[in-house]
Amino acid sequence: MQLAGDHLAIAQALLAFGRTIPVEKLFPTDVPEAASFVLSDPFAFTLAACLNRQTPAETIWAIPYELRERLGHLDPWRVRTLAIDDLAREFAQLRRKPRFVNDAPRTIAELTTIVCDEYGGDASRLWVGRRAADVRHSFLRIHGVGDGIASLIVLLIEKAFGLRFPDLDRPRMDIKPDRHAGRVLCRLGVSSSQEVRDVVAAGRVLHPYFPGELDAPLWLVGREYCHSELPRCVGCPVTAVCARVGVASQSIGLPAPSAERTSAIPTAEPPTLSVERLGGMRRSLHRLFDQLDPDSVGSRESISARLSRLRDRRRIPRDIAALMRSVIETRNTAEYETLVMLPSQSRAVRATWQAIDEWTRGEGPRLDSVE
């Protein structure tokens, strides 16, 4: 893997930003009570953390709160009495569901058994007074929790509950190579691709003594600034050290980075759109619909149904609605039918998105940046 850029300056910028992040930012939800719940209730925290697999943060950290609202409690002893089928029915009724909802009941059942049988119903005893290696091992016994999630849970425990595991082998704690970290590291000029191997290696190069410490700042930069489409470079905490690989400088109002910062990695847009980028477009449309129809925020209505209703109410012109629907359907096809898009298809979707963006800049509300 070829690496570019001033690694020390990049690492320092990320770590400096990381030190300013309030712990609540790491547990974002659209329900304030949900965030405080997972930070004050160890069982709620562990429940969400074990389900944290390819699910938006706003969803995953709100699930314990919503379960408590449905059940009237979130007592591990009482949850333990629920059969797998009972748990499955409860999860099916949630407005916010984990990505792997069919696996969730087994995950919760196994977590609850460990908490009750081995720690007397007190989930905090999973980590209080224990070695980091033992904590990881306990979580790895739970269905669906792999090495990456177990390591992330250990790091989140330190941040959420103010602990520091003295035995934690920090040089071996790699970053979680999620979509945000991969995108940010590529644009910084540190990783040559968003492949897991390259992203993990880039984290080790940037911060060899504790790669995992970069998790939070990379995730938050990707989430709030470095969107897949229309990145918000102005105000980004690492913009001064960023090579902006693959980002058109004219579109973000910044001067082009120097040639030496970008020479190691090609700057061309990828020929085909990824499912991640299509998903970012879909999420941006959801936020746009929230602006147009605030009363429907948080509803269980599908995005297609929301679009049809806004079109019928003349909040969105029919021609623009047709373009939006094509983006939504392309994203669904790409994810559920594993479509490999041709370059010509990707160009068509980009042109469609540009037309939607032009409408929002002219007649419609502002189209939010795509994550």
Across the range 301-313, mean pLDDT stands at 86
What pLDDT shows up at residue 218? 92
Q: Which among 68, 86, 151, 140 has a CA at the least distance from the CA of 110?
A: 140
The ranges of the chain annotated as CATH 1.10.340.30 are 31-166
In this prediction, residue 334 has a pLDDT band, given cuts at 50, 70 and 90, of: low
Note the pLDDT tens digit of each residue in 220-278. Answer: 899 888 888 778 888 888 888 888 776 755 444 445 454 444 443 333 445 566 767 77
Q: How many residues does the chain have?
A: 371
Percent of the chain with pLDDT over 90: 8
Percent of the chain with pLDDT over 70: 85
DSSP string across 267-322: -SPPSS--HHHHHHHHHHHHHHHHHH-GGGTT----HHHHHHHHHHTTSS-HHHHH
The ranges of the chain annotated as CATH 1.10.1670.10 are 1-23+169-247
DSSP string across 307-320: HHHHHHTTSS-HHH
Measure the N-to-C terminal CA separation of the chain; round to a whole number of Å: 26
Note the pLDDT tens digit of each residue in 183-217. Answer: 999 998 888 888 888 888 888 888 888 888 898 89
Residues 6+ apart with CB under 8 A from 266: none
Note the pLDDT tens digit of each residue in 99-119. Answer: 777 888 888 899 999 999 999
Is residue 42 predicted with pLDDT exceeding 90? yes
What CATH code is assigned to 31-166?
1.10.340.30
Cα–Cα distance, 98 to 47 (Å, whole number): 11
What CATH code is assigned to 1-23+169-247?
1.10.1670.10
Cβ atoms of residues 82 and 90 within 8 Å: yes
Chain-wide mean pLDDT for the chain? 80
Is residue 67 predicted with pLDDT exceeding 50? yes
What pLDDT shows up at residue 184? 92
CB atoms within 10 A of CB 110: 16
Is residue 299 predicted with pLDDT exceeding 80? no
Cα–Cα distance, 87 to 50 (Å, whole number): 15
pTM listed for this prediction: 0.58
Burial of residue 291 (number of CB atoms within 10 Å: 0-12, 13-18, 19+): middle
